[in-house]
Amino acid sequence: MRLNKYIAQAGIASRRKADELTKAGNVKVNGIVIREMGYDVKPDDRVEVNGRLLGTSEKPVYIFLNKPKGIITSMSDEQGRPTVADLVQDIPQRIFPVGRLDRDTTGLLLMTNDGELANRLAHPKFHIEKTYRAIVAGVLSEKKQRALRNGVDIGGFVTSPAKVEVVRQTEKSAVVDITIHEGKNRQVRKMFKAVGCPVKELCRTKIGDLYLARLKEGTYRKLTRQEVEYLKGQK
Ligand code: URA
Task: Read off the CATH number of the domain in which 16 is found.
Answer: 3.10.290.10
Return all residues near 51 (Cβ < 8 A) that are at least 6 apart. Answer: none
Active site residue 102: yes
For residues 67 and 175, membership in a common domain is answered with no
Note the pLDDT tens digit of each residue in 76-133: 899 999 999 999 999 878 889 999 999 999 999 999 988 778 877 877 677 899 999 9
Q: Are residues 24 and 44 in the same domain?
A: yes
- Same domain? For 81 and 135 the reply is no
Say yes or no: 134 and 119 in one domain.
no
Q: Predicted confidence band at 219 (pLDDT cuts at 50, 70, 90)?
A: very high
Q: Are residues 149 and 96 in the same domain?
A: no
Please give all residues whose beta carbon lies within 6 A of any atom in ligand 1, as ranges.
Answer: 101-102, 105, 186-189, 202
Task: Give the number of other CB atoms < 10 A from CB of residue 148.
Answer: 24
**Last-in-domain residue among 53, 72, 92:** 53
* Domain coverage including residue 46: 3-53
Mutate to test the pocket of ligand 1, among 67, 73, 101 (most ligand atoms within 8 A of CB): 101
The CATH code of the domain that includes 154 is: 3.30.70.1560
**For the whole model, what pTM was predicted?**
0.78
* pLDDT tens, residue by residue, 147-184: 999 999 999 999 999 999 999 999 999 999 999 999 89
SS3 195: coil
CATH of the domain at 114: 3.30.70.580
